[in-house]
Structure 1
Amino acid sequence: MLSRYGAKLAIGLLKLFALLPYGLVARFGDGLGWLLYQIPSRRKRIVHTNLTLCFPEWSDERREDVAQKHFRHAIRSYIERSVQWFGSAKKLEKLIQLDSAIDLTDPNLPPTLFLGFHFVGIEAGSIFLNYSLKRQCGSLYQPMSNPELEEIAKAARARFGADMASRADSARIVLRWLRERKPVMLGADMDYGARNSTFVPFFGVPTCTLTAVGRLAKVGRAQVVPFIGEVLPNYKGYRLKVFKPWDNYPTGDDDEDARRMNAFLEEQIPLLPEQYYWVHKRFKTRPPGVPSVY
């Protein structure tokens, strides 16, 4: 946990980096990630464990290559919070390509849950989605261990017209937003514990998966629209890809709806395997009687 002064230093550095050219900042983050990967660490072990579970058919060389590239992406993503949190709208427009299967500015957009997935570009994607909607929306966040850093993050994520709510207090608020026809952005592909979750396959591994998306969509009569923030090669910025709404979703079956989310990820991750958030303990919560993999 960052101390109060550590948080102030981190915020000050991010504001400084925001003044620098994006390519320079991205290359610095990439180099720092490469350097940190050379040091044995718990996070490095988590990356390898996740990749081994999800891609047992890969060779050791392939796994090592993806693990190193991902570590570089992950560290770089923290450094790039600088431009994402403190960069102007004009700067973000130059850095982020929008590829949307729906009209985000449609005044008749039905109640919508925009479902973000934890690729390393999710921060840039979420902020630019908020900007591209051109209307007030709602956004859920996961509380941070440092209150000062959390307040800065909330303010940065809300600056284009987002109402923020903690994930822990979200269900009633999300339903109210949907009734008000506010689009809602949320993420659900991480391990938040067994409460309101079910175990369904994720790359063949029984995985603790939230059921909240299907339930909220059902009660709020909302369509679910997935989106992914992709980091472009050669330090060119990002692409925000917004997909078509899921057909026949929700089904009313919690397991089936959770499986649908994981199946979507199983299609998308192989396209960008180094960019999915493997440093997270995705398999932390195990089925009863099954030992920890970490």
Structure 2
Amino acid sequence: MAKKIKTPSKFQAAFYHPKYWGIWLGVGILRLLGLLPYQYKFKVGRVLGKLMYQLAFKRRKIALKNIRIAFPEKKPAEQKALLKAHFVSLGMSFAEMALIWHGDHKRNHQKAFERSIVRYKGEQNLFNAIKQEHGVLILAPHFTTLEVTGLFVSFLTNYHAVYRPHDNPFMDYLIAEGRSIEFASGERVEPVSNANTRLMLKVLKKGGAMTFLPDQKYRSKGSIMVPLFGKECPSNPATSKIAKLTGCAVVPTFTRRIEDDSGIHYEVTFLPALDNFPSGDDYQDTLRLHHLYEDAVRQAPEQYLWVHNRWDLKL
């Protein structure tokens, strides 16, 4: 029997059940954050991050072990400082989620305020890949800026987002709703489950664009061990396989949060579409991608998602 593909959850009256009240509390906090002026959102986000650092012991432990693997040359005090900065960055990502859910783009995508807080580098690389009409896989690794990356890409082109369905149906609904995009053209596009390979291939074969998040721990069928920061970890070779099946261009994309005298703003960098990709060697392709991720992480190390158990460590 064919495996049933999970589609994004729809809102259900059952979500009002008390077992979901904790999630509703989080939704309420995001709504309140959404009401605050832009820069004040991030002040609250920093406080939330510092609070998470104190309370999330297990995640703090995972993050510190990951940081020690990635930056063994740093002194213990420097590693701990990076750990604290990472949790602040995590807290600021909640402010960004509030922006995604309740930002100006929801009312006016074409002239949204959020267009003024981002600058692009290498956007012509994306446009060149789109012009080839063979589909574009926009690789966006797991940085704490992940949610706003999708919004900023939507200002340049229509695309489909790929996401991992959540086991909790209410959380799945919220994630899918947050990653659904209503473009200036009026077209609303819901995210695609990462298990729905058929739909992913269909979008790319038609020349569409799709964001893809390939960098987290992967222990399912087809997993391969590939070094990241010099230490092997279970990795997903799906990027190579999708590119081989569709002939799509692969454009690595990285978003960096910048804080200066003018406040918080962002820089989205599109690298040139990868040449000779796939090469026919999934290991070498994945290693090549890992080197690109490493370079991006070193530019803003506190903004990578260190709380994920990337190396499948025993805790």
Q: Verify same fold: TM over 0.5.
A: yes
Preserved CA contact (<8 Å) 2:215 2:235 = yes
Q: CA deviation at 1:74?
A: 1.1
Q: CA deviation at 1:50?
A: 0.4
**Which residue of structure 2 lines up, in the alignment, with residue 245 of structure 1?**
273
Preserved CA contact (<8 Å) 1:283 1:293 = no
Written as runs of structure 1 = structure 2, the 5 A alignment for 1:16-31 is 16-31=32-47
Preserved CA contact (<8 Å) 2:70 2:229 = yes
**CA offsets, 1:89-136, max 9 Å, x none?**
212212222223426556724311000011111110122212321x3x
Written as runs of structure 1 = structure 2, the 5 A alignment for 1:2-17 is 3-17=19-33
**Among residues 123, 144, 153, which one is paired with 2:147 in the alignment?**
123
* Percent identity of equivalent pairs: 27
Residue 46 (structure 1) aligned with residue 69 (structure 2): no
**Which residue of structure 2 lines up, in the alignment, with residue 97 of structure 1?**
119
Q: Distance in 1 between matches of 2:296 and 2:30?
A: 30
Q: Distance in 2 between matches of 1:176 and 1:142?
A: 18
**Among residues 162, 172, 179, which one is paired with 2:189 in the alignment?**
162
**Which residue of structure 2 lines up, in the alignment, with residue 293 of structure 1?**
314
Q: Distance in 2 between matches of 1:20 and 1:40?
A: 26
Distance verdict in 2 for CA 1:126–1:181, change over 3 Å: same
**CA offsets, 1:196-219, max 9 Å, x none?**
221011111011110000010011
Preserved CA contact (<8 Å) 2:179 2:190 = no
Written as runs of structure 1 = structure 2, the 5 A alignment for 1:68-83 is 68-83=84-99
Preserved CA contact (<8 Å) 2:96 2:145 = no
Residue 218 (structure 1) aligned with residue 261 (structure 2): no
Distance verdict in 2 for CA 1:213–1:40, change over 3 Å: closer
TM-score (norm 1): 0.89
Q: Distance in 2 between matches of 1:158 and 1:29?
A: 23
2:154 counterpart SS class: helix
Q: Distance in 1 between matches of 2:194 and 2:214?
A: 10
Q: Distance in 2 between matches of 1:75 and 1:151?
A: 22
**Which residue of structure 2 lines up, in the alignment, with residue 153 of structure 1?**
175
Written as runs of structure 1 = structure 2, the 5 A alignment for 1:188-227 is 188-227=214-253
Q: Distance in 1 between matches of 2:255 and 2:101?
A: 15
Distance verdict in 2 for CA 1:148–1:194, change over 3 Å: closer
Distance verdict in 2 for CA 1:246–1:62, change over 3 Å: same
Preserved CA contact (<8 Å) 1:85 1:153 = no
Unaligned runs of 5+ in 2: 1-17, 106-111, 183-187
Greater than 3 Å deviation, 4+ residue runs:
103-107
Q: CA deviation at 1:73?
A: 0.5
Q: CA deviation at 1:69?
A: 0.2
Q: Distance in 2 between matches of 1:117 and 1:145?
A: 22
Q: Distance in 2 between matches of 1:241 and 1:72?
A: 23
Distance verdict in 2 for CA 1:12–1:35, change over 3 Å: closer
Q: Distance in 2 between matches of 1:44 and 1:237?
A: 27
Count of residue correspondences: 283
Q: CA deviation at 1:39?
A: 4.4
Preserved CA contact (<8 Å) 1:120 1:230 = no
Amino acid paired to 1:198: I
